[in-house]
């Protein structure tokens, strides 16, 4: 068999839900010389990345590191390490990624209950409180910015209720990290995961996670092995700690890229980054309305980093998106699930 032609991907303007455009600085970092995963200089980069992740997550947690894999690997990391067969888990579902949480928790053997809301709306805090009062849950999980709908879930009330119930609070910040405050310590979030390809402006490939000491203690007291060897934090943390015990070969170049992406975020400043996303979002909505297009989400719960727009009646949305591809090299996303054909992202 002869070699395939050289890869020649087009230069697109990425305006969809992800991946996002990548800074030339981050692309240059990907081309830095590859060293071994235990090279002293690489270990320095690892330590610096952990310190920067703590700042972006707004936490002092000791355990804050990038897992090898995309955001879904971060989701699985949180569930497989905290959940054992038979554990009770409560999940808020108002979009694709709440649904995925349910699936992942069930694969861990959890007994899963849900609090559901119509896609495009926020979870109701009172319904969450009512559910928490029915049994003792080990974990309660919600999505902060639901990528499939464009909803930014208010967390304060739910976080307080979960804390009072004694359950561990898990939050998906794949889309929100770097684009809105996540306040891990202030809210008492016990397990939080994200992705590199959204507001961090990095290619997909790593999933930043952070765990509270309470969550770490739960992992240490497990009665069964973690379901996944690859995602077992009891071993992975020994590689990222001063012990430097080999677990798996870290994706060296992606760690370079994340390191540079975090530097860019912190050079700008978190608050300025959040403000920039909010200002761009507000400008987008204002200009969109001039074209007689409307947001699909109520103003009070719109995620500033993911804009969901109603598809006008009678418009062939796939045809519109294909023309943007073909004629303008612009990528936008389609609606998912019950919003397919009704929204674009």
Tens-of-pLDDT digits for all 345 residues of the chain? 799 999 999 999 999 998 999 999 999 999 999 999 999 999 999 999 999 999 999 999 999 999 999 999 999 999 999 999 999 999 999 999 999 999 999 999 999 999 999 999 999 999 999 999 999 999 999 999 999 999 999 999 999 999 999 999 999 999 999 999 999 999 999 999 999 999 999 999 999 999 999 999 999 999 999 999 999 999 999 999 999 999 999 999 999 999 999 999 999 999 999 999 999 999 999 999 999 999 999 999 999 999 999 999 999 999 999 999 999 999 999 999 999 999 999
- Going from the C-alpha of 151 to that of each of 33, 97, 130, 166, 345, the distances in angstroms are 40, 12, 22, 27, 12
Q: Which CATH class is domain 24-266?
A: alpha beta
Q: Half-sphere exposure (CA, 13 Å, Cβ side) for 51? A: 8
| Cβ atoms 194, 54 nearer than 8 A | no
3-state secondary structure of 324: helix
Q: What is the largest CA-CA distance in the chain?
A: 64
Q: Which residues contact 310 (CB under 8 A, 6 or more apart)?
A: 293, 294, 295, 296, 342, 343
Give the start-to-end residue ranges of the domains of the chain: 13-19+270-344, 24-266
- DSSP states of 67-122: EES-HHHHHHHHHHHH--TT-EEEEEESSHHHHHHHHHHHHTT-EEEEEE--TTSP
* Residue 302, strand partner residues: 151
CATH number for the segment(s) 13-19+270-344: 3.90.1150.10
Query: Which helix or strand (DSSP H or E) is residue 343 part of?
Result: strand 343-344
């Amino acid at each position: 068999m002869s070699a395939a032609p050289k890869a020649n991907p087009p230069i697109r303007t990425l305006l969809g839900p992800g991946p996002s455009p990548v800074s030339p600085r981050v692309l240059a970092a990907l081309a830095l010389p590859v060293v071994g995963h235990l090279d002293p200089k690489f270990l320095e980069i690892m330590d610096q990345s952990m310190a920067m992740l703590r700042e972006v997550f707004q936490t002092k947690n000791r355990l804050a590191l990038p897992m090898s894999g995309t955001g879904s690997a971060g989701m699985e990391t949180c569930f497989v390490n905290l959940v054992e067969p038979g554990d009770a888990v409560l999940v808020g579902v108002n979009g694709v990624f709440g649904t995925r949480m349910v699936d992942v928790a069930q694969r861990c053997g959890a007994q899963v209950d849900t609090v559901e809301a119509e896609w495009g709306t926020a979870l109701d805090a009172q319904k969450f409180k009512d559910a928490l009062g029915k049994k003792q849950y080990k974990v309660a999980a919600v999505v902060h910015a639901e990528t499939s709908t464009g909803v930014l879930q208010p967390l304060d009330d739910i976080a307080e209720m979960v804390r009072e119930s004694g359950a561990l609070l898990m939050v998906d910040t794949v889309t929100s990290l770097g684009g809105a405050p996540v306040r891990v310590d202030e809210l008492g979030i016990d397990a939080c995961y994200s992705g590199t390809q959204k507001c961090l402006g990095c290619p997909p490939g790593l999933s930043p996670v952070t765990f509270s000491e309470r969550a770490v203690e739960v992992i240490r007291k497990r009665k069964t092995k973690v379901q996944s060897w690859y995602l077992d934090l009891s071993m992975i943390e020994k590689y990222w700690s001063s012990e430097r015990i080999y677990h798996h070969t870290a994706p060296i170049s992606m760690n370079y890229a994340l390191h540079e992406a975090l530097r860019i975020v912190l050079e700008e400043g978190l608050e300025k980054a959040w403000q920039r996303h909010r200002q761009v979002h507000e400008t987008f909505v204002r200009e969109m309305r001039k074209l007689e297009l409307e947001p699909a989400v109520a103003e009070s719960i719109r995620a500033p980093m993911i804009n969901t727009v109603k598809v006008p009646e009678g418009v062939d949305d796939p045809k519109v998106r294909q023309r943007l591809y073909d004629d303008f090299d612009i990528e936008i996303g389609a609606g998912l699930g019950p919003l397919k054909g009704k929204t674009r992202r």
